[in-house]
Amino acid sequence: MIIPPELKKEFQERAQKIRLIIMDVDGVLTEGHIILEDEKPEMKMFHAHDGIGLVMARRVGLKTAIISQRESPAVQRRARELHIDYLYLKQFYKISAYEKLKHDHGYRDEEICYIGDDIPDLPVLRRVGLPVAVQNANWRIKQEIPFVTETEGGRGAIREVIEAILKAQGKLEQAIEKILSPEDSRE
């Protein structure tokens, strides 16, 4: 994570409070390319490192969510495979889905990390306790959001954020052990 030196302590304090990680899809969980062919469902590519990161988060009790403007069978499938806790698709105004998720499941802003890359993410990024922009985010987002990944979206940025949060919470080694343990390998 690219964290300005003067904000390292603040990042640690914010990350320690996180219970829920929300992410956008296009440009964050994927590289942002949308492949369309006539009469076929769209194709999306997901990075395996992000998948392992999401499993690590779940194994130590963090919840995960996706809020996306698009509806995509590929995203629905990947969310099922990764046991994403909350899935909100076709959400043009992401802040509405964010407020519903908070209300329905009892989260407070300071307990939520949101990872985004573009202008539709900005209202949510401005509200959460830990806003993170991916390296390939729109310049306006990176200008406003102090915490930026070193990795581009779709190339392991989600994993980078999760590991930074788990490290701040003192749970990173526990998460790694749970990935390596045959007793914890049920998916």
Residues 107-146: pLDDT tens digits? 999 999 999 999 999 999 999 999 999 999 999 999 999 9
Would you tell me how many other CB atoms lie within 10 Å of the CB of residue 31? 17
187 within some domain: no
> What pLDDT score was predicted for residue 45?
85
d(CA 49, CA 179): 13
Instruction: Find the largest Cα–Cα distance for the chain.
Output: 52
Position 64 in a domain: yes
Q: Using an 8 Å Cβ cutoff, are 57 and 175 in contact? A: yes
**Is residue 47 included in any domain, yes or no?**
yes
Per-residue model confidence (pLDDT) at position 114: 99
Residue 130: domain span: 5-180
pLDDT at 35: 72
* Ranges of H-type helices in 43-171: 48-59, 73-81, 94-105, 122-125, 139-144, 157-168
Is position 105 within any domain?
yes
> Cα 70 vs. chain centroid, distance in angstroms?
16
Query: Is residue 186 a part of any domain in this protein?
Result: no
Beta-carbon neighbour count of residue 179 at 10 Å? Answer: 14
- Within a domain: residue 127? yes
The mean pLDDT of 6-10, rounded to a whole number, is: 93
Count of structural domains within the chain? 1
For residue 101, is it within any domain?
yes
- Spatial contact of 90 and 104, defined as CB atoms under 8 Å apart: no
Q: Is residue 79 part of a domain?
A: yes
Q: Residue 120: count other Cβ atoms within 10 Å of its Cβ.
A: 17
Query: 3-class DSSP state for residue 84?
Result: coil
Give, for 42, the enclosing helix (H) or strand (E): strand 40-43
Instruction: Give the closest residue to 19 by CA, choosing from 133, 101, 97, 88.
Output: 101
- Using CA atoms, how far apart are residues 115 and 162, in angstroms rounded to an integer? 10
Which among 18, 4, 5 has a CA at the least distance from the CA of 164? 18
State pTM to two decimals. Answer: 0.93
- Which of the four pLDDT bands, split at 50, 70 and 90, describes residue 181? confident
The per-residue pLDDT for 81 is 95
**Residues above pLDDT 70, as percent of the chain:** 97
| CATH number for 49 | 3.40.50.1000
pLDDT in tens, 70-86: 888 889 999 999 999 99
Q: Are strands 35-37 and 40-43 parallel, antiparallel or unpaired?
A: antiparallel
Gyration radius of the chain over CA positions: 16
